[in-house]
Amino acid sequence: MAEYGTNALAGLPPRVTICEVGPRDGLQNEASVLPAEVKVEFIERLVAAGHTVVESTSFVHPKWVPQLADAEDVLDRLRRAPGVRYPVLVPNERGLSRALERGVTDIAVFGSATETFAQRNLNRTVAESLEMFAPVVGRAREGGLTVRAYLSMCFGDPWEGEVPIAQVVSVATRMLALGCTELSLGDTIGVATPGRVVALLDALRAADVPVERIAVHFHDTYGQALANTLAALNRGVTTVDSAAGGLGGCPYAKSATGNLATEDLIWQLDGLGIETGVDLGRLVETSAWMAEQLGRPSPSRVVRALTGG
């Protein structure tokens, strides 16, 4: 990247933390079910490339996410590097117990800003899902764990259409009030545009939600993920979710395509002089390798450009 020049833009943070979600959010939506040893190698390659936050697996019931049914096996095989966080998704207290048995120190819960998606994804209303999360978050925080709150459908819902900003803020503040340490705003079906992103972030700030506790999670369905990320950075966000090679989508929202590709994100951030600590070359090699395991090309434009694929 450096050979093409680096120029900063005013108002952007000097460093961004990338939450790499490929091993969980990415692989859960792939048709292929990869062996545990391949998943472990994927995670370890991502860490070797410089990632310090790698979402590793999910303790959702295997009936719902069979691609990650080997969560215990993956964590047992994984060589955890010092200074690296390996959060896992837990849906309920049973999932939390399974995670704690494996020495997990960082978890995530997954909520919805809309009633329809809450029913389809969790078989509960929004209020009932918050009631379910409360003891999970309480136990985790008492045990010293960090708890990330994913909030899906923050900008649009395939059944309800545009989601009112006030509705998102209401659910977001209630999730944080449970004791969650971070809130990841999900554009689950990729319909957000920069102005909408700024409007939501400004509304959360007006509701006294510190920007330091906010992350953004954009899908690239309409090609807006990088533009939306830049808008969020300009509003002070410093944590961005992305998936190596652009893996993933959402198994319960068929209009959702892949996550923002980490390589595409890093190309932009490198060009802006924003530090991430991730080596783009090593990451591209990892995503090209993973594409071979899955038997299909990587959707990341940067991966394709740098590998000729």
Predicted TM-score (pTM) of the model is: 0.95
pLDDT recorded at residue 257: 63
Closest by CA to 106, choosing from 158, 11, 184, 39, is 184
List domains and CATH numbers for the chain: 12-307 (3.20.20.70)
pLDDT recorded at residue 256: 46
Q: Tens digit of pLDDT per residue, the chain (309 long)?
A: 567 899 999 999 999 999 999 999 999 988 889 999 999 999 999 999 999 999 999 999 888 889 999 999 999 999 999 999 999 999 999 999 999 999 999 999 999 999 999 999 889 999 999 999 999 999 999 999 999 999 999 999 999 999 999 999 999 999 999 999 999 999 999 999 999 999 999 999 999 999 999 999 999 999 999 999 999 999 999 999 999 999 975 444 454 468 999 999 999 999 999 999 999 999 999 999 999 999 888 889 999 999 986
Q: What tokens does 72 get? A: 């215990």
pLDDT recorded at residue 144: 97
The strand pairing partners of 44, in sequence order, are: none
19 is catalytic: no
pLDDT recorded at residue 3: 74
pLDDT recorded at residue 252: 42
Radius of gyration over alpha carbons of the chain, in Å? 18
Catalytic hit among 19, 154, 180, 250: 250
